[in-house]
Amino acid sequence: MIKNDIWIKQQAEKGMIKPFEPTLINRVENSPVISYGLSSYGYDIRLSPNDFRIFRRVPGTLVNPKNFNPENLESATLHTSEYGDFFILPAHSYGLGVALEKLEVPPNITVICVGKSTYARVALIANVTPAEAAWHGHLTLEFSNSSETDCMIFANEGVVQLLFLEGEPCATTYADRNGKYQNQPETVILAKV
């Protein structure tokens, strides 16, 4: 069953989401922002300004998820304008960011991370990403710019929505099996095997 705003708020008060915004914020200091915070059946998390990386072609290298070469990623510059702080994801490229909020997922919940319609309408696609039962940390987020134009992706503003799905208790949680992406810091974490 998908969990509602009442449940999300109760769990956030116990530390499930930090920092937590109990309402959906779409303006900050009278300026419009891409919404973040609590919605009816989800929570819109923000993109951290601390780390965003873009895949670059490096001649002679392959992207190997079993032996990832960090040289295939380039740190993006955080820009500032009257619209806010943002990274630029070039046309037809792929980038990795990290969530500002830290999660502590309960053991009977799996979180699904989905894209926001505001970004989808400008051809920025967020990969669907799970955070399994008892996962803790800052989510590494994946984005694809499928347009012909460079795209601004705003830091400290909503970037993806989390949906919380409750299931019967599982035999082994992500924490129990010492999952390789457990306790991620507020930085991009590269592929691991």
Query: By C-alpha distance, which of 80, 158, 92, 148 is closest to 119?
Result: 158
3-state helix, strand, coil in the chain (%, to 5): 10, 45, 45
CA-based max dimension of the chain: 52
Q: Which residues are known catalytic residues?
A: 142
User: Alpha-carbon Rg of the chain, whole angstroms?
Assistant: 17
Please report the DSSP string for 119-139 in residue order: HHTTTEEEPPEEE-TT-EEPP
The residues, ordered by sequence, that sit 6+ positions from 45 with a Cβ below 8 Å of its Cβ are 17, 36, 99, 100, 101, 113, 139, 158, 159, 160, 161, 162
